[in-house]
Structure 1
Amino acid sequence: MKHLFITGATGNIGYEVTKHLSKSDLPHEIFVGVRDVGKASALFKDFSNLNLRHFDFENPDTYSALSGMDRVFLLRPPHLSNIEKNFRPLLEYIKKSHIRDIVFLSVQGAEKSKVIPHNKIEQLIKDYGLNHIFLRPSYFMQNLTTTLLSDIQTKREIILPAGSARFNWVDADNIGELGALLLDQFEIYKNQALEITGYENKNFQEVTHLINEIIRNPLRYRNINPFRFYRMKHQEGMPKGMIMVMILLHFLPRFQKEPEISSIYERLTHKKPGDLGTFIRREKSKLDVL
């Protein structure tokens, strides 16, 4: 039996990893690191076999929550972009604590772009000599119902510097399922990088058109340049680091090849990944604000 530690357990992907581990009958003990144990207890009240520990990426005093762990599911919270400040100390602690195995939630194409935070974290993990699996998903469908939701609900717009670049869309549920599987079968895929994608490459014009076919109150996609996007989000109070990461993730694909489609999810789970239409219908109540 392994002791598994999940970071970011109350966020999109961490929650899905926790969910899939909890509902499985795998012979592991599951620990989740959360900033507020009380709130998390309510969130996970229907989950079985969970141990909650106080953990905060920005507070090294909480790193002791990792004591006794064998494997860690590591992700980067969206607002943290200073890798030297927030991740080097954590990885040093992991190394000194003799935790050898990390499944890191990276991003598709991280190995090709040294400017994005995920690339730097991958390199740090290698530098510390840790056994790893880099799980590199494509663009989350859930961005529509989290990061982009405020503009959708209040302005009826998706506002990004993405031009007509095509993104591959993947459901967080599929990522979480694969993350749980990799934590269990770590030795099989150790020291590999695995891309997880859906089977649809669509730009935001196409996605907006698809959404409007399903909802009643239509929205539109507005492409703006990165400088205007930065000013707008800064005025709205978004942290500077998060704005820069959003620009990198949405602007750089305009100058890159269309994303490659991976069959890794279907090969490992023997199921097809979720599609955008199903996701939009599932989340219609959030997107169709009248």
Structure 2
Amino acid sequence: MKHERPTVLITGATGQIGGETLRNLSLDDRVAPVAAVRSAAKAAPFQARGIRTVILDFDRQETLLPALRGIDRVLLATGYTVDMLRQSKAFLDAARLADVKHVVHLGACGGDDATVGHWAWHQFVERYIEWCGFSFTHLRPEVFMQNLLSYDGTRAVNNGVIQQYTGDARFSWVDGDDVAAVAAQALTWPEAHAGQTHRLGYDSKSYGEIAAMMSELLGQPFHYEALSPDIFLENMRAAGANMAYMECVHDNFKRAAARSIPGIEDTFDNFQQITGREPVRWADFIVKHRQAFAY
């Protein structure tokens, strides 16, 4: 049975984008947000805030349809592995059976001609969403500013040194909180965002330029040390990361450093129209997270 208010299921509710989307939706009584969690233990913090939860595990197909029954709209946010393809298809098949109406998909960078591996995987998911006949909104965030706080659990800035793998390339950045703000708008007002692909990137900077801004704004010296992408790959292998995905990231880094990804610097002017405010840019982000960068 449908609820009086549209029900909105947030997958990835314990993650950054999903969690912030849920927080945004909880500030508005137009929809009834539901947090998808993998266990009762993970449900407890949401229930303490008065947020309904359902058990949903992308790798346990038997959990999908029960979690989706009675849901009107969903945010689909999968993990960073090649399993996203299998997981997304099973989830969307269950969503179609459950009569879900609108799907907001958290995708990846690039235009429709993107050939970086994991970007292309997300675009296959986009096409399957469309083939299934859902009303949809595709979100394509560029590079997350939060990557400078940590990447795969590893600090990205240590004692004023940024170690990264893209040479002196400039590329487009977005604050993850801004991605969540757009997701919340698309889930609250699906008719205004149906059939749209929102590319989300608002500040084009290289790591060297970011280090210079940090030095100026925080009053401490910061500098960028460009490392070989091969070092990244070996670090991820040693950490036991999913290598199918990390090989794609390695290729992305190599091509970015070689300046061979067209449009990697592109920024967009859609954020104010969607949310009614300006997006976060690097100066804002640095000041907001000054405690994380200071040493």
Task: Report the alpha carbon displacement of residue 69 of structure 1 after superposing the two structures with TM.
Answer: 0.7
Contact 1:197 1:265 in 2 (8 A): no
- Distance change (3 Å), C-alpha of 1:82 and 1:181: same
SS of the residue corresponding to residue 72 of structure 1 reads strand
**Counterparts in 2 of 1:221-232, with a 5 A limit?**
221-232=224-235
1:88 lines up with 2:89 in the alignment: yes
**Distance in 2 separating the partners of 1:139 and 1:60:** 31
Deviation, 1:43, is 6.2
Aligned to 2:145: 141
CA distance in 2, matches of 1:219, 1:243: 27
Q: CA deviation at 1:17?
A: 0.7
CA 1:265/1:90 → structure 2, altered by over 3 Å: closer, same or farther? same
Query: SS state of the match for residue 103, structure 2?
Result: strand
Residues 32, 134 of structure 1: alpha-carbon distance in 2 compared, 3 angstrom cutoff? same
Q: Tell me the equivalent position of 1:55.
A: 56
Name the aligned partner's letter for residue 272 of structure 1: E
For structure 1, the 5+ residue unaligned runs are none
Partner of 2:195: 191
Q: Which moves more between the two structures, 210-219 or 262-271?
A: 210-219
CA distance 1:214–1:42, change in 2 (3 Å): farther
**Deviating more after overlay: 247-256 vs 58-67:** 247-256
2-side partners of 1:163 and 1:152: how far apart?
15
Cα separation, partners in 2 of 1:158 and 1:148, compared to 1, 3 Å: farther
SS in 2 for 1:76: coil
1:114-151 per-position Cα deviation (integer Å, ceiling 9, x unaligned) = 43221221122123222211012222111222317624
Which residue does the alignment assign to 1:177? 181
Please report the RMSD computed on the Cα atoms of aligned residues, expressed in angstroms.
2.4
Partner Cα distance (1:157, 1:193) in 2: 36
- CA 84–17 in structure 1, closer or farther in 2 if over 3 Å, else same: closer
Give the counterpart of 2:213 among 210, 213, 223: 210
Residue 78 of structure 2 is aligned with which of 76, 79, 82? 76
- Taking the TM superposition and a 5 Å limit, the aligned residue runs for 1:110-121 are 110-114=111-115, 115-116=117-118, 117-121=121-125
In 2, distance between residues paired with 1:286 and 1:99? 40
1:6 and 1:96 map into 2 onto residues whose CA distance is: 18
Q: How many residues align?
A: 284
Change (3 A) 1:154 1:180: same
- Paired AA for residue 69 in structure 1: I
Residue 266 (structure 2) pairs with residue 266 (structure 1) = no
Q: Is the 8 A contact 1:151 1:159 kept in 2?
A: no
* Greater Cα shift, 124-133 or 36-45: 36-45
Q: Distance in 2 between matches of 1:250 and 1:283?
A: 25
CA distance in 2, matches of 1:111, 1:42: 39
The structure-2 alpha-carbon separation of the partners of 1:35 and 1:215, relative to structure 1 and needing over 3 Å to count, comes to farther
Q: Which residue of 2 aligns with 1:18?
A: 22
Distance 1:166 1:43, change over 3 A: farther
Contact kept in structure 2, 1:110 and 1:118, CA below 8 Å: no
Which structure 2 residue ranges, 5 or more long, are not aligned? Answer: none
AA partner of residue 60 (structure 1): Q
Please give the alpha-carbon distance, in whole angstroms, between the structure 2 residues aligned to 1:245 and 1:8. Answer: 22
Structure 2 CA distance for partners of 1:230 and 1:92, relative to 1, 3 Å: same
Q: What TM-score, normalized to structure 2? A: 0.86
Looking at structure 2, the residues matched to 44 and 175 of structure 1 have their Cα atoms a distance apart, in angstroms, of: 24
Aligned-residue sequence identity (percent) comes to 24
1:269 is displaced (CA, Å) by: 2.2
Q: Distance in 1 between matches of 2:232 and 2:158?
A: 17
Over 3 Å counting, the alpha-carbon distance change for 1:233 and 1:222 in structure 2 is farther
* Secondary structure at 2:236 match in 1: helix
Which residue number in structure 2 is paired with residue 162 of structure 1? 166
Amino acid of the residue matched to residue 282 of structure 1? K
Deviation of residue 273 (structure 1)?
0.8
Deviation at 1:214, TM superposition (A): 3.8
Cα separation, 1, equivalents of 2:241 and 2:162: 16
Q: Which string of whole-angstrom CA distances, capped at 9 and with x for unpartnered residues, describes residues 71-90 of structure 1?
A: 11111222x22344322222
Q: Secondary structure at 2:138's aligned position in 1?
A: strand
